[in-house]
Amino acid sequence: MNHERLVGVMRQLALEAGDRIMDIYNADDFDVKVKSDDSPVTEADEAADALISAGLRAAFPDMPLVTEEQAESHGQSVDTFLIVDPLDGTKEFINRRGDFTVNIAYVENGVPVRGVVYAPARERMFFTQADGASVEEEGPFDREVVGALNPIRVSEPDNAALMVVASKSHRDQATDDYIGKYGVKDMTSAGSSLKFCLVATGEADLYPRLGRTMEWDTAAGQAVLHGAGGQVVRFDDHTPLRYGKDGFANPFFIAFAPGVNLKGA
C-alpha cells in the first residue's frame, strides 16, 4: 500500500463526505430510518457511504472494503482492509449536537495503521500522515490543498488528576464505577470517535468504553491515537485491541495515554 496516496485519498473523501453530510444537516428536515439492529440511519449516512465507497473502490480496487452501511461487507474474513463509518455519531447528528465524524481507516495485519477522523460540524480534522505520525489540520479545509498541519501528541498524565472523556450517548453506571477507580481532575463528554482524538491531542488522558462498538466505530480513531503515541487495549486483559474479528464486533476497551496507571476490570 502506498501510504502517501492512501492518506491523500482518505482525506479528500472525508472532506467530500463531510460537505454532503453538512448539506443534509443544515436542511430543514431529513429522513431517519431504523436498521435491523434498531440503530438509526439517515440519508446523510447513506449518501456519505456511497461517496466514500465509490472513491475507495476506484482508488484501491484490490483492497477489501468493510463499511457499516453495507451489510454484505460484514461477512468477510480479513486482516488487511479498508474500513469506513461514513457518519459516526448518528444520534448526535439527529439531535443536531455536532459531535459526529467521518471515519476512514486502513487496517494492516489486524492493526489500524492509517486513518482520518473528520468532524465537519466542529471543523476539526485529524489524520495520520504517510509516515504514521498524527496531525490536526487547521481549517478552513480545501479538498485539493492541505492546510497547516499541527503535530499532535498524547499527554504526560498526572495519575492523581486525570482528564477523562466518556461517551455522550452511551454513558452507564459500569463506566462511572470504573472511572471512580482513578484520580480524576475533570470529566468531559464527547460523541463519536472524537473521544479518541481528544486523548490523541492531550485534551484527555483516558477513555474507557464499557459498551458495544464495532470496528468501523473505532479503527480511524485508534489509528490517530496510535500515531500520537497512545494505546488502545481490551478492557478484560489489557491486550492490544485487534481488528478483523468475526463480525467486526469489539470487546470493551480502554484508550489512554501510556503514562496512565491502568486499573483492572
Annotated binding site: 68, 85, 87-90, 217
Is residue 122 classed exposed, middle or buried when 0-12, 13-18 and 19+ CB atoms within 10 A define those classes?
middle
Q: Could you identify the residue written with the cell 469489539?
A: 250
Q: Which residues pair with 124 in a beta bridge?
A: 119
CA distance linking residue 180 with residue 174, whole number of Å: 10
Helix axes 43-59, 3-25, angle to 10 degrees: 160
In the annotated binding site for Mg(2+), the residues are 68, 85, 87-88, 217
CA distance linking residue 25 with residue 111, whole number of Å: 33
Pairing of strands 184-190, 162-167: parallel
In the annotated binding site for substrate, the residues are 68, 87-90, 217
Minimal CA–CA distance to 134: which of 117, 111, 159? 117
What is the total residue count of the chain? 265
CA distance linking residue 91 with residue 109, whole number of Å: 32
135: number of Cβ within 10 Å: 20
Question: CB within 8 A of 43, min separation 6: which ones?
Answer: 24, 30, 31
What is the identity of the amino acid at 52? Answer: I
